[in-house]
């Protein structure tokens, strides 16, 4: 693992449950994006956040076990390789009650100019805040 990790806890809501009575796969994707955004907001300064936005180039999610109604979920994320034009981000999704790994994800993010939506470079000092 490179860089510092960030975590947050979410609760499974009734709208997250699908017809198989477990959390729908699209919810895991929402959680991956939610914890990534939380990490960015917690670490990057407000001026940097106002200049740089992010778009996803690729998501990979491996599902290990289902989450169900009433579960509390721990989302943990960290940045792997961070270049000027891409951030590789990893996420683990675990049930808090027993620590069981429910899913893991790898996402490739591209920084874009927040005004123009064109790819932009991430300064070294910002990359250093997230990845080593």
27 within a domain of the structure (yes/no): yes
CATH number, residue 45: 3.10.129.10
1 within a domain of the structure (yes/no): no
At 14, give phi and psi (nearest 5°): -55, -30
- Asked whether the beta carbons of 18 and 9 are under 8 A apart, the reply is no
Predicted TM-score (pTM) of the model is 0.93
C-alpha to C-alpha distance for 105 and 50, rounded to whole angstroms: 27
Q: The domain containing residue 64 runs over which residues?
A: 6-130
Per-residue pLDDT of the chain (132 residues; tens, 9 = 90+): 346 899 999 999 999 999 999 999 999 999 999 999 999 999 999 999 999 999 999 999 999 999 999 999 999 999 999 888 999 999 999 999 999 999 999 999 999 999 999 999 998 988 888 875
118 within a domain of the structure (yes/no): yes
Q: Kindly compute the dihedral angle of the four CA atoms of residues 83, 89, 90, 94, in this order, to the nearest 10 degrees.
A: 160
12 within a domain of the structure (yes/no): yes
94 within a domain of the structure (yes/no): yes
70 within a domain of the structure (yes/no): yes
**How many separate domains does the chain show?**
1
10 within a domain of the structure (yes/no): yes
36 within a domain of the structure (yes/no): yes
CB-count burial class (<10 Å; 0-12, 13-18, 19+) for 6: buried
Pairing verdict, β 101-113 and 52-63: antiparallel
């Amino acid at each position: 693992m490179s860089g510092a990790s960030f975590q947050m806890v979410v609760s499974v809501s009734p709208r997250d449950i699908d017809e198989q009575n477990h959390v729908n796969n699209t919810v895991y994707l929402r959680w991956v994006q939610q914890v990534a955004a939380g990490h960015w907001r917690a670490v990057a300064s407000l001026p940097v956040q106002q200049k740089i936005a992010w778009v996803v180039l690729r998501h990979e999610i491996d599902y290990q076990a289902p989450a169900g109604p009433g579960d509390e979920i721990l989302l943990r994320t960290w940045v792997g390789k961070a270049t000027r034009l891409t951030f590789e981000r990893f996420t683990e999704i675990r049930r808090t009650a027993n620590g069981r790994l429910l899913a893991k994800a790898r996402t490739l993010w591209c920084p874009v100019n927040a005004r123009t939506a064109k790819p932009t470079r991430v300064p070294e000092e910002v990359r250093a805040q997230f990845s080593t």
